[in-house]
């Protein structure tokens, strides 16, 4: 797989990261300093605000790199949908990366776990050499950090450090790391495909058939009783 250094050597690459509350868009071009814009607005607005600030036209882009998670499913899928749309009519290389992997490799400490909330008292956990997994709160161990701007619904475990999630500073530290994965169908990362419960539909019937029959007979009797009118 190409690393960022190889990818940017002869191509204009745009990085889209909407995995956290802070949407980040980077414009990486050969022979020019990287330019970055960030926005705290909703991803569907933030991406285009950042594009406008960077003077970006999608027709100028040779390749895309986007964060497929873990993180905000809505933000990630908004970015993925945009990439699918922009690929119609003109194929461009699209690469996915894990934001937790970027943080871990930028920090460069193999015994350090990087975590973000996976809900229901579980955590996305990335460690160099072990990759990405989902771990219950009770099983978290060792030194842990969490990147800024990621929401959490469960209480952070004790002694978890906070580290910046600023791609303008992180990506230069992983310039040669093997973190990019090519994809033709950008989407949000999932540990496993969703499973749906199925059931056999049945016509709803109120309990007590005899009671219903008696009630019907009673109503019919009242309709024929002059005293009831």
Alpha carbon distance 67, 199 (integer Å): 36
Residue-range domains of the chain with CATH: 4-182 (3.30.420.40)
Edge to edge, the sheet with strand 122-127 lists 131-136, 122-127, 112-117, 143-147, 161-163
Instruction: Give the predicted TM-score (pTM) of the model.
Output: 0.84
Task: Decide which of 218 and 172 is more confident.
Answer: 172
Lowest-confidence region among 59-68, 198-207, 217-226 = 217-226
Q: Quote the pLDDT of residue 90.
A: 86
pLDDT digits (tens, 9 = 90+) for 210-223: 555 555 556 665 55
How many Å apart are CA 86 and CA 16, to the nearest integer? 13
Q: What is the mean pLDDT of the chain?
A: 90
Calculate mean pLDDT across residues 125-139: 96
Task: Please give the DSSP secondary-structure letter assigned to residue 157.
Answer: P
Per-residue confidence band for 104, with pLDDT thresholds at 50, 70 and 90: very high
Confidence of residue 140 (pLDDT cuts 50, 70, 90): very high
Q: Which pLDDT belongs to residue 37? A: 98
CB 113 within 8 A of CB 127: yes
- Cβ neighbors of 57 (< 8 A, separation 6 or more) are none
Predicted local distance difference test score (pLDDT) of residue 35: 97
What pLDDT does residue 138 have?
Answer: 94
Task: Collapse the DSSP code of 6 into the 3-class scheme (helix H, G, I; strand E, B; otherwise coil) and give the result.
Answer: helix
Cα(18)–Cα(37) distance, integer angstroms: 12
Residue 229 has a pLDDT of: 45
Residue 83 is classified by DSSP as H
Tokens found for residue 127: 């460690």
Q: Which of 44-53, 104-113, 194-203 has the lowest mean pLDDT?
A: 194-203
For residue 70, is the peptide bond before it cis, meaning its omega torsion is within 30 degrees of 0?
A: yes
CA–CA gap between residue 38 and residue 99 (Å, rounded): 16
**Helix (H, G, I), strand (E, B), or coil: what is residue 124?**
strand
- Going across the sheet that includes 63-69, the strands are 35-39, 23-28, 13-17, 63-69, 93-98, 181-182
What is the rounded average pLDDT of the residues 156-175? 96
13 has a pLDDT exceeding 70: yes
Which has the minimum average pLDDT: 1-5, 25-29, 171-175, 210-214?
Answer: 210-214
pLDDT higher than threshold 80 for residue 77: yes
**Tokens 């569907």, residue located:** 44
């Amino acid at each position: 797989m190409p690393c960022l250094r190889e990818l940017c050597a002869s191509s204009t690459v745009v990085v889209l990261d909407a995995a956290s509350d802070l949407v980040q868009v980077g414009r990486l071009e050969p022979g020019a300093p990287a330019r970055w814009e960030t926005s705290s607005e909703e991803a569907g607005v933030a991406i285009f605000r950042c594009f406008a600030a960077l003077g970006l036209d999608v027709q100028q882009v040779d390749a895309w790199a986007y964060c497929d998670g873990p993180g905000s499913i809505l933000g990630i899928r908004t970015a993925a949908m945009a990439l699918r749309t922009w690929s119609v009519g003109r194929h461009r290389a699209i690469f996915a990366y894990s934001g937790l992997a970027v943080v871990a490799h930028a920090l460069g400490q193999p015994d350090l776990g990087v975590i973000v909330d996976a809900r229901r008292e579980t955590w996305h956990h990335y460690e160099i050499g072990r990759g990405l997994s989902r771990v219950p709160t009770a099983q978290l161990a060792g030194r842990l950090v969490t990147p800024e701007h990621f929401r959490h619904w469960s209480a952070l475990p004790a002694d978890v450090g906070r580290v910046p999630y600023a791609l303008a500073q992180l990506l230069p530290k992983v310039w040669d790391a093997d973190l990019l994965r090519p994809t033709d169908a950008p989407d949000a990362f999932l540990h496993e495909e969703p499973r749906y419960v199925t059931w056999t539909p049945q016509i709803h019937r109120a309990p007590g058939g005899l009671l219903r029959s008696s009630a019907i007979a009673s109503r019919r009797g009242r309709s024929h009783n002059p005293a009831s009118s």
